[in-house]
Structure formats: structure tokens, C-alpha cells
Amino acid sequence: MEAKKIPEYFGTMVFNDKVMKERLPKEAYDAVRQAIDKGTQLPLSYAKIVASVMKDWAIEKGATHFTHWFQPMTGITAEKHDSFIEPFGDGEVIMKFSEKSLVKGESDASSFPSGGLRATFEARGYTAWDPTSYAFVKDGSLYIPTAFCAYSGEALDKKTPLLRSMEAFNKQALRILRLFGNTAAKKVTPTVGAEQEYFLIDKSVYEKRMDLVHCGRTLFGARPSKGQELEDHYYGAIKSRISAYMKELDEELWKLGVYAKTKHNEVAPSQHELAPVFTSTNTASDHNQLTMQLMKSVANRHGLVCLLHEKPFASVSGSGKHNNWSISTDTGENLLDPGATPNENAQFLLFLVAVIKAVDEYQDLLRISVASAGNDHRLGATEAPPAIISIYLGEELDGVLRAIEKDETYVGKEKTELKIGVSVLPTIPKDSTDRNRTSPFAFTGNKFEFRMVGSSTNIACPNFIINTIVAEELSQFADRLEKAEDFNLELHELIKETIKNHNRILFSGNNYSKEWEKEAKRRGLLNLKSTVDALVRYTDEKNVKLFEKHRVLSGSEIRSRMEILLENYSNIVHIETLTAVDMARKEITPSIVKYQTFLLNEYKLKKECGLPCSLEEKLIKNLAELSEKFAEILDKTIKDEKAYDSSWNNLKKAKYAKNTLLKDLGELRKYADEMELLTGKEFISIPTYEDILYSVKY
């Protein structure tokens, strides 16, 4: 693809605003625009026109089918393809796509997780068109982004709460803007740019690893002799195979209108990153799903496999997804950008402290938003923030807030004095705000970077939660300020008070250190180490109240989500246990036994010849002791797995998975890995870390 052609083919497979403007009659176009901008229902008469135009366009792009594309609670997207054909006359067909097929799809929801929301006799669910995320053509099908609900209207997916949270956010943010005299903005949208980390390995090694195939991560594997110690992979020169892959991936994404922007090597060997230009949280979330899918399918075409698990390999860095979150108005303003006038700065500070208060009051929800079996292996390891949430603001802004809190005059580096609503904030240099890479929630100049998100997480979750908790604080602020007699005075008080009440969440030090864990405990911050500890708090009264108030989730929807996530957690750990047992029996045991037999024969031969044989003797003894332990733990694991009862309730299963099965897995691995380090290479039947992490050689 020629570089100069990129603007021409960017978004060519997307039924976007430009296409709609060109092809739809003006009235229909205006109606769609209104549905997108104001969230109004598109009248069926217009939907009919849109469907017909969309179908013709899709057929030109090679589509024979259409599918409603949705995001059930399984964590991956779902699609069911119907062709456009409709019988006509005698044995002929026409291509048809009705307004009903565009707007609403019936779906058998019985095989998707509902967490008890849907009684078995109500197996039907439906999908509803989301016009705010553009339809597109991929692999010969027209994809229509949709929300997925039970027949009762309750959400069964990840998109619905995100859309609802954006609406709630818009409403509350507009109230604040009006208080500052802004009447021009009609819409406020939370925005996101999600930096996606991933591993690429050669398909041949992948296929030989049962654990990678079934679980997406290795359950065994001793450290390679070279890991990431030399720090020579991060931003290193990109190998030609990887570069060809990245090029094709970019092109595929661009055609689908995804703003793929940055690509580079990451810290671990075989690890890479792709970052897009930010967009609205809804589009960004759909685009991130597409990106993850294309990462996998393009890899396949290059003889590679893309691993999106949070921790595919022990002892090297795992993968995350930095969630850069900010707030845009339709008039082009970033509300988290410190402004140039006193009024803008006061407004900036208000939004800033709203985020601070939200993060402090809903630490549990933020932790829940990134909770998964995979991410538990990453959080708190030395490559990712711990399970403790805190905010890093940067030196300058920290200074500003401390001064406000103490009613002192802030004198910054530029010797500017600061008083809210009166003076101008010192310019906050962008680079000085991002020095702390260990912070889970860092202010980076004009956005917050939430760094706890796992690489495979659907970003709809963290974002619907961030949108909702910040909307709640804005609504409290608006309630108070709308009643104020002296706006500036009340504003000053409010900001000051908020800083005072929530400064415990601010932390500038090293989040990876042991001291921080202690200090955080002293401050009363939560440290929810595992998914199970976090999830049980989902239904706490304050959380249910929050989601119900902003109509983002009902009490029963939250309970269902908690059930689904708990069950998902225990299912994953259970599958890992079964896989580990199989590997221990079928791969590890045979290779250990073979090597030990070999050593014993050598030893006997040498002994017979009267030769010294302490090397063999030591090894034999060592391996014999380790394999005894290994056998013991394998027996225990098998017994514990048998005791796992799938008819237990989800919490019991999840607790058992965490407290018993995961511990067994860890122990089993410990001895297997120790033995691996002592075993001759030719006796090991599966690819080692060395083989996998350096499988792409040129």
C-alpha cells in the first residue's frame, strides 16, 4: 500500500458520516445525525432508507451477509451472519435488508451468560442497533454494532452500560459547564485512547504447548537464560517478520477506520504495543475489540500467534492496556486541559477534583473494572501497579492542590500566584507530569492514564465505571454550586474541601515498593489483591445506589454481572488445573522419567567401569527428590480438582479456585520448573521459554 494512498483508503470499509452524507437523502441523513448526536430514536421510515442504502453500499464492498455484532459477557464479541438473499419468483433471489433487520435482531440468548437475569424459559434476547458506532464491512459481511439485552430489557452485554454511562456523564458535565457560563457546548463526551500490549510468537511453538492453546498462558516453564534484564527489547529495532505483520495490521485497521497510530517493541522479548489516536469511549471500545481480533487473524496469516493474555510467561513482564481517559466537548475543548484564563482554570480544577474524589470513593469499583483471573497475575508484580489504587498528579499540580488546601498562595516555577477563579494556573509542562510510571492512575497533562487495565479486558468495563463515578461527583458538585449565592466563593470552598477530604488517594512515590503497601494501609486505602476479593464488593449498597441513580445498571444487572464474573474466574482456574494435570502426566512426567533412566544407565556403566560418577549421582539424587515432591503435589492437585463441584454457587467455586486450585498450580509449577532446569534439552518434549520467547528470529 502506497503511503500517499492512506487518506484515500482510510475508512473505506466503514459506513461513516461521509458515506451517509453522500448517499442518504438529506432528511434521512439529518435524522441519523440526530440519533447519533442526541440519542433520539430513528423513525422506522428513515431506518428503512438507511437499511437499503447501507445494503447497496455493503454489496459494493463485497458483502453477501450482515451480522449484528455484540459484546456479551463472555469477554469476546459475538456475531451471527445472515445472507441478504431472499427468495423471489420461482427459484430466484433478490438481495434484501429490511429496516427491522438493521434496528433489531432476535437472538437465542440461552447460551450466553446471564448470571441469573434470564429465566431458562425466556431464552430469547435481542440486539439493538447502536448508530453511534459506525457499521463496517469485514470478511464479506456487513457488521452492525449492537447492544445485547434480555427480553425484559436488562443488559446482557458490555456495551449497554457504557452507552448509558456516557449519557449520564454528558448530563452532569453539561450542568457544570452551564455554571461556568458555557452555553455553546451541547455535548460532552468522555474519550479514550487504549494502548494495547501483546505478544507475538511463532505458530509452531504455540501448537506444541497445551497450556498456551487452552489457557493462553504457560502453566510451566523455567526462566530463560536471557529475559528482559538487558532492557534491549523496549523500543528496539523491529524484526522484519514483525514489521511485515505490523504493516498489514495497520492497513487492515485503517480500512476499518481505526486510528492505529503508534507501534513499537515492548519490555519483554516478543512483546509489542499498538496505540490508536483517542476517540469517544464507545467507538474506542468497539475499535479496541476489532484491534484485538485483527491482531489474532493477521498473526495467523504470518505464521504467528498473538497472545493477549495478561501474563503469558512467568518471570517476564505481562501485558496491560493503558486506558487514557479524558473529556471532550463538541466545541473542541478538552476539559482536563488546564486553560489559559482564570475561569478555564477554575473549571479545570473542578473537573480534576471530581476525578480525585471519584477515584477515592470508588477504589473498589475501579479494581473490579479490571478484575480477571489473568490480570491477577500481573497486578502487584513488579511490572504493573499493585492492586492498590492511587493517583499521581505530578509535582506542579500537587503543589497547586496543596496550596489550595492550606489556603496558601501557590508560587510555581514560573512565579505565578494562584487563586481559584481569579488568577491563571501556572502552565503545567506535559513532560513533568508523567515521570511516575508506577502509578495506577496518573495525570498526564490533559488526561488520566489508568494503568491497571489488563491486555485482554474489554475497555467498555473500566470506562463505564470511570464515566459513572465521575458523573456522580459532578452531579454532587452541580447540586451544590447551582444553589450557591456566591459562585466563586462556593467553588473555592468546594475545591478546597474536596482536596482536604480526598488527599489520601494522592501518591507520588514508588507504587511498586513494599513501603507503599504499608503506607496505603495506614491511609485506609483498599488493597484488593484478587478478583474474588474485589468482585464481592460489586453489590455493596453504595455501588448499587450509584449505578441505579445514573441509570447505568439496575441492582439485578449488577448482581448478574458479579455472578458471571465470579463464574468466569473459577472456570478459567479450573481449566488451567485440568490442563496442568494433563501436561504433568503426559509431557513433564515422561521427560523426567526418561532423563532419569538415561542418567541411571550412565551411572551404572561408569560404576561398572570403576569411573568417578559424582555428576550423575548428584543429579539423580536431586531429580529423585524433586520428582517425589512433584508426584506428591500432582496427587494433591488431582484430588483437589475432583473435589471441585460445578454445582456449588459461584462464590464458593471462585473461592475454592483461588484458595486451593491456584495454590496447587503454583506448587506444581515450582517443582516442574526446577526439574526442567536440571534436565537435558533433548529430553524435554515441549518448547521451553527459550524456544518460545525467541521463536521469531529475524
- Using CB under 6 A as the binding rule, the residues of this chain from 423 to 452 that contact ligand ADP are 434, 446-447
| Cβ 195 to ligand ADP shortest distance, Å | 6
User: Measuring CA to CA, which residue among 465, 280, 252 is closest to residue 362?
Assistant: 465
The answer to whether the beta carbons of residues 167 and 301 sit under 8 Å apart is no
Report the residue number whose CB is nearest to ligand ADP.
193
| CB nearer to ligand ADP: pick between 275 and 346 | 275
Report the residue number whose CB is nearest to Mg ion.
322
Stretch that binds ligand ADP, among 272-280, 352-360, 367-375, 594-602 (CB under 6 A): 272-280
| Cβ 343 to ligand ADP shortest distance, Å | 20
Length of the chain, in residues: 698
| CB nearer to ligand ADP: pick between 278 and 410 | 278
| Cβ 108 to ligand ADP shortest distance, Å | 37
Choose among ligand ADP, Mg ion, none what residue 193 binds, the Cβ cut-off being 5 to 8 Å by kind.
Answer: ligand ADP
| Cβ 323 to Mg ion shortest distance, Å | 10
Stretch that binds ligand ADP, among 133-141, 206-214, 324-332, 450-458 (CB under 6 A): 324-332
Helix (H) or strand (E) holding 591: helix 589-608
| CB nearer to ligand ADP: pick between 118 and 447 | 447
Stretch that binds ligand ADP, among 225-233, 276-284, 363-371, 455-463 (CB under 6 A): 276-284
The answer to whether the beta carbons of residues 313 and 325 sit under 8 Å apart is no
Choose among Mg ion, ligand ADP, none what residue 334 binds, the Cβ cut-off being 5 to 8 Å by kind.
Answer: ligand ADP
Burial label for 640, CB within 10 Å (0-12, 13-18, 19+), is middle
Report the Cα 341 to chain-centroid distance in Å: 36
Q: How far apart are CA 93 and CA 253, in angstroms?
A: 33
User: Measuring CA to CA, which residue among 251, 247, 1, 289 is closest to residue 162?
Assistant: 289
Residue with cell string 509489542: 272
The answer to whether the beta carbons of residues 134 and 15 sit under 8 Å apart is yes
| CB nearer to Mg ion: pick between 170 and 196 | 196
Q: How far apart are CA 408 and CA 411, in angstroms?
A: 9
Residue type, 200: L
Q: How far apart are CA 41 and CA 52, in angstroms?
A: 18
| Cβ 324 to ligand ADP shortest distance, Å | 3
Q: What grid cell was written down for 205?
A: 511453538
Report the Cα 316 to chain-centroid distance in Å: 20
| CB nearer to ligand ADP: pick between 277 and 593 | 277
**CA separation (Å) from 692 to 169, 248, 466?**
45, 23, 37
The answer to whether the beta carbons of residues 181 and 277 sit under 8 Å apart is no
Sorted by sequence, the CB contacts under 8 Å of residue 595 that are 6+ apart come out as 623, 679, 680, 683
Residue with cell string 470478511: 139
Q: How far apart are CA 366 and CA 438, in angstroms?
A: 17
| Cβ 259 to ligand ADP shortest distance, Å | 8
The site map against ligand ADP for 168-207 (x = CB under 6 A) is -----------------------xxx-x------------
Helix (H) or strand (E) holding 227: none
> Is 334 near ligand ADP (CB under 6 A)?
yes
Helices (H) and strands (E) in the chain, counts: 25, 20
| CB nearer to Mg ion: pick between 442 and 528 | 442
Choose among Mg ion, ligand ADP, none what residue 438 binds, the Cβ cut-off being 5 to 8 Å by kind.
Answer: none
| Cβ 180 to ligand ADP shortest distance, Å | 19
Choose among Mg ion, ligand ADP, none what residue 447 binds, the Cβ cut-off being 5 to 8 Å by kind.
Answer: ligand ADP
> Is 278 near ligand ADP (CB under 6 A)?
yes
Burial label for 631, CB within 10 Å (0-12, 13-18, 19+), is middle
| CB nearer to ligand ADP: pick between 192 and 346 | 192
| CB nearer to ligand ADP: pick between 463 and 596 | 463
Q: What grid cell was written down for 399?
A: 503543589
Tally the C-alpha atoms within 13 A of residue 517's C-alpha that lie toward its C-beta: 12
Chain positions contacting Mg ion, by CB under 5 A: 322
Choose among Mg ion, ligand ADP, none what residue 456 binds, the Cβ cut-off being 5 to 8 Å by kind.
Answer: none
The site map against ligand ADP for 216-255 (x = CB under 6 A) is ----------------------------------------
Choose among Mg ion, ligand ADP, none what residue 446 binds, the Cβ cut-off being 5 to 8 Å by kind.
Answer: ligand ADP
Choose among ligand ADP, Mg ion, none what residue 217 binds, the Cβ cut-off being 5 to 8 Å by kind.
Answer: none
Helix (H) or strand (E) holding 200: strand 188-202
- Using CB under 6 A as the binding rule, the residues of this chain from 204 to 223 that contact ligand ADP are none
Residue type, 13: M
Stretch that binds ligand ADP, among 11-19, 200-208, 321-329, 594-602 (CB under 6 A): 321-329
The site map against ligand ADP for 97-136 (x = CB under 6 A) is ----------------------------------------
Q: What grid cell was written down for 530?
A: 484478587
Q: What grid cell was written down for 394?
A: 505530578
| CB nearer to ligand ADP: pick between 127 and 191 | 191
- Please select the residue that binds ligand ADP; options are 145, 216, 269, 276, rule is CB under 6 A: 276
Q: How far apart are CA 671 and CA 664, in angstroms?
A: 11
| Cβ 433 to Mg ion shortest distance, Å | 12
Q: What grid cell was written down for 134?
A: 459506525
Residues near ligand ADP (CB under 6 A), total: 15
User: Measuring CA to CA, which residue among 323, 301, 208, 315 is closest to residue 269?
Assistant: 315
| Cβ 182 to ligand ADP shortest distance, Å | 18
Backbone angles phi, psi at 655, to 5 degrees: -65, -40
> Is 324 near ligand ADP (CB under 6 A)?
yes
| CB nearer to ligand ADP: pick between 275 and 352 | 275
| Cβ 271 to ligand ADP shortest distance, Å | 16
Choose among ligand ADP, Mg ion, none what residue 664 binds, the Cβ cut-off being 5 to 8 Å by kind.
Answer: none
Q: How far apart are CA 302 and CA 523, in angstroms?
A: 51
Sorted by sequence, the CB contacts under 8 Å of residue 18 that are 6+ apart come out as 11
β-pair type (410-411, 417-418)? antiparallel
| Cβ 380 to Mg ion shortest distance, Å | 20
Helices assigned H by DSSP within 61-158: 99-103
| CB nearer to ligand ADP: pick between 434 and 582 | 434
The residues binding ligand ADP (CB under 6 A) are 191-193, 195, 275-278, 324-326, 334, 434, 446-447
